[in-house]
Amino acid sequence: MSVAFAELVTIMRRLRDPQSGCPWDLEQTFETIAPYTLEEAYEVAEAIANGDRAGLREELGDLLLQVVFHAQMAADEGSFGIDDVIGAINAKMIRRHPHVFGDAEIASADAQTDSWEAIKAQERAAKADGVPSVLADVPLALPALVRAEKLARRAARVGFDWPDAGGVLAKIREELAEVEQAIAEGDAGHIAEEVGDVLFAVANLARKLGVDAEAALSAANRKFTHRFQAMEAQAGDAFPALSLAEKEALWQAVKREE
């Protein structure tokens, strides 16, 4: 363990000391800290997207703190400690890279992906009480778009998939027609269900085209934000009162400037 990492572990241990620790840190549980863990992971991703290396260094530190915090809470209750966390990931990485740490031969990144998934399937089977599901360990806490891609990718690995992107496009058209039908029926629950089906199908289209759906949507969000704020800047205080046609004209002007 490096000196700096050992110091971080010591700092967290002191923060959680029942006699002299920080009241806030002592009150925390796995459940209360989990949202911060997710938030820090997103901030790491944002720093990467912004090309902000100084920010990335800071955010990685914040994320590392979350790992140490969870491990310390587990140690406090006698479940496991930070050494167990590190030991488990070391063992997993060695187990999942037999071509590096063993005698297996893997010729390409695609072959490594297949090997990785095969080893994960073996691990799932070892943990399962009954028939193991390829979907069993896709985390519920993932953002819905990311989870949709992962679920579909797992299903595709056992042959449940469209042959090409054209099949997904046809499915999207089918789901859009069902949305229109649900709207005509006026059933709010049915509308929500069918809109969800459209989003799931679009996530599958991204997967079939080799597009990261979450990254693509994030880029679209940034583009929309940039264009909308440019519209606001051009119109000033008058923006809210503009007609829809005037706002659309501003939107098109901003697009042309790009």
For tokens 């990467």, name the residue.
48
Give the pLDDT of residue 1: 64
Bigger pLDDT: 111 or 34? 34
Q: Give Dmax (Cα) for the chain.
A: 70
Q: Please tell me the predicted confidence (pLDDT) of residue 143.
A: 87
Task: Reply yes or no on whether the pLDDT at 6 is more than 80.
Answer: yes
Check whether 254 has a pLDDT greater than 80: yes
Nearest alpha-carbon partner for 16 in 26, 2, 4, 6: 26
Task: Say yes or no: domain 3-95 is CATH 1.10.287.1080.
Answer: yes
Query: For 133, which DSSP code?
Result: P
Confidence of residue 193 (pLDDT cuts 50, 70, 90): very high
The pTM of this model reads: 0.65
d(Cα 24, Cα 222) in Å, to the nearest integer? 35
For the stretch 70-99, what's the b/e string if a residue is b when 16 or more beta carbons lie within 10 angstroms of its beta carbon? bbbbbbeeeeebbeebeeeeeeeeeebbee
The string of pLDDT tens digits covering residues 148-171 is 999 999 999 889 999 999 999 999
How confident is residue 129, by pLDDT bands cut at 50, 70 and 90? low
Domain segments of the chain: what residues? 3-95, 216-257
Tokens standing for residue 64: 């590392």
Per-residue model confidence as pLDDT tens digits over 75-125: 999 999 999 999 999 999 999 888 888 888 887 877 787 777 777 777 776
**What are 200's two structure tokens?**
């799931």
Confidence band (pLDDT; 50, 70, 90) for 25? Answer: very high
Helical (H) or strand (E) element with 163: none
Asked if the model's pLDDT at residue 176 lies above 80, the reply is yes
Confidence grade of residue 29 (pLDDT, cut at 50, 70, 90): very high
pLDDT one-digit tens code per residue, 51-63:
999 999 999 999 9
What's the CA gap between 195 and 108, in Å, rounded?
39
